[in-house]
Amino acid sequence: MYRLISKLVIYKNLKEDSILESLSRIIRELDGNPAAGEPVIDREAIISEIYAQISSLLSLAAEYGLRGNLWHNYLAFLLAMAENPFSLSCEKCGAEQGSINNFAKNDFRAFKALFEYDFAQIEERLGIDCFRLISDYQASHEEGGRCTSTAGYKIMQLALQIAGARDEDEIFDCVTGFYKKYGAGLFGLNKAFRIRNTEGRLELVPISNTQEVRLSDLVGYELQKKKLIDNTRAFVEGRRANNVLLYGDSGTGKSTAIKAILNEFYMEGLRMIEIYKHQFKDLSELLALIKNRNYRFVIYMDDLSFEEFETEYKYLKAVIEGGLEIKPDNVLIYATSNRRHIIRENWNDRSDMEYTEDLHRSDTMQEKLSLVSRFGITINFSAPLKDEYLNIVYTLAKRNGIMMDEKQLYAEANKWELAHGGRSGRTAQQFINYLLAMQD
């Protein structure tokens, strides 16, 4: 195994290669130096190290919902996650002619041998069977169903294609086709991310457990949803589009609408990065990370609002419009807020007040209003009227199979909203959850 890894060129520095390198080191230790006779090994220590790598492999399987041959899935995962000049070029343009293809095929020849690596001798020598067990791994229902529709499904399909390939030429075709269709690295396997700054280095952290909600799940607000769909469709198709602010009453579906947009347009190349206001100082660095990738990115800011003493909004203003470096064409900002103007105002900001410490009151107002003006589209999600609220309740009840007299349903729904914060889609859903709990 270690001889195969030493032959890699393009995939020499794989990011997620700890299992592969560790197993290679263990096997090399087992082989020892043939010229010196049978090597003396610490059998129990080696078995413990192997089990540690198997444990890491099982953790990866649980994270992505992998099943079948986990060794094959792991090797496919390494190829899918690789971000190098070859994979990034294939992401943008597909396979092209050039000398780099010869190096890639050399690496794929090594990967083909790794796919066919026989662990039977190691198991027999150490008296273990863990490699045999992971060759046909059956995940639990929860593990198997969690991610197979996205990242896990892609990994397993790529693994099956590589395992069935006759030679490096066929592996070249299926791997480059994977990069062209899905992309390379984190963006190819995942659809949502957060950012993390560790010792001055910004990195993207995948969000593997996203809410599988659709716009059709959001009852009502048809005009609001259409505005959001039209703008996002223009964006993913490469046409001009606007930053969007969704504002209005709490619990009306603003955040749900943006999560649904990601699911609606994910297969068309949309990715979403969630960012919090204390991270706005990292926005410029984030844009530098994603501006040259072959995806469309929505930077998502939930529940955006600022108090008077908070100045982070100035970073956001500069990034959206006004800084020296323009925002990349493949990036939009979608934000939700309960405040129409995002930044808290007070009476001293108003020019009709007789006394204020601010000598330039109109300038203060313009400073605070200039942020919201940088969102080309603002969409209002107001609390539903009584009839609208009852329609939401009725629709959700029908979807969930709740059999209750309509008049009784409406009467109970009215009682519920009076005691639980007023009319909203969230209140309606909580009422339905309550009925389902009582029904169970």
pLDDT tens for the chain, 440 residues long, are 878 888 889 988 765 558 998 898 888 888 765 555 555 667 888 899 999 999 999 999 988 889 999 999 999 999 999 988 899 889 888 888 888 899 999 999 999 999 999 999 899 888 999 999 999 998 665 544 444 457 888 999 999 999 999 999 999 999 999 998 888 888 888 889 999 988 888 989 988 777 788 988 888 889 999 999 999 999 999 999 999 999 888 888 889 999 999 999 988 889 999 998 888 888 888 998 898 888 999 999 888 776 665 566 666 766 776 555 667 889 999 988 876 655 555 545 555 444 455 544 455 555 555 666 678 888 998 888 899 889 989 998 898 888 888 899 989 889 888 888 788 888 888 898 988 888 76
pLDDT reported for residue 228: 95
- If you compute the radius of gyration of the chain from its CA atoms, what whole number of angstroms results? 27
Rounded to whole angstroms, how far apart are CA atoms 351 and 364? 10
Of 316, 312, 366, nearest in space to 341 by CA:
366
Q: Which residue has the tokens 């859903």?
A: 429
pLDDT reported for residue 321: 65
DSSP class of residue 382 equals P
| Residue 380, H or E segment | strand 377-381
| Residue 413, H or E segment | helix 406-419
DSSP class of residue 347 equals G
pLDDT reported for residue 308: 62
Which residue intervals of 291-405 are DSSP H helices?
A: 313-320, 361-369, 386-399
Is residue 91 within 8 Å of 188, Cβ to Cβ?
yes
| Residue 79, H or E segment | helix 70-81
pLDDT reported for residue 201: 87
Q: Which residue has the tokens 């393009």?
A: 10
Question: Has domain 206-381 been given CATH number 3.20.20.60?
Answer: no
pLDDT reported for residue 110: 93
Rounded to whole angstroms, how far apart are CA atoms 335 and 301? 5
Three-state DSSP at 94 gives coil
Three-state DSSP at 194 gives strand
pLDDT reported for residue 144: 45
pLDDT reported for residue 249: 82
- pTM value is 0.78
List CB contacts of 393: < 8 A, sequence separation 6 or more.
409, 410, 413, 428, 431, 432
Of 108, 105, 129, 106, nearest in space to 119 by CA:
129
> Which structure tokens are listed for 218?
């959001």
Rounded to whole angstroms, how far apart are CA atoms 283 and 274? 11
pLDDT reported for residue 369: 59
Is residue 89 within 8 Å of 21, Cβ to Cβ?
no
pLDDT reported for residue 38: 54
Q: Which residue has the tokens 């090994």?
A: 41
Rounded to whole angstroms, how far apart are CA atoms 85 and 168? 19
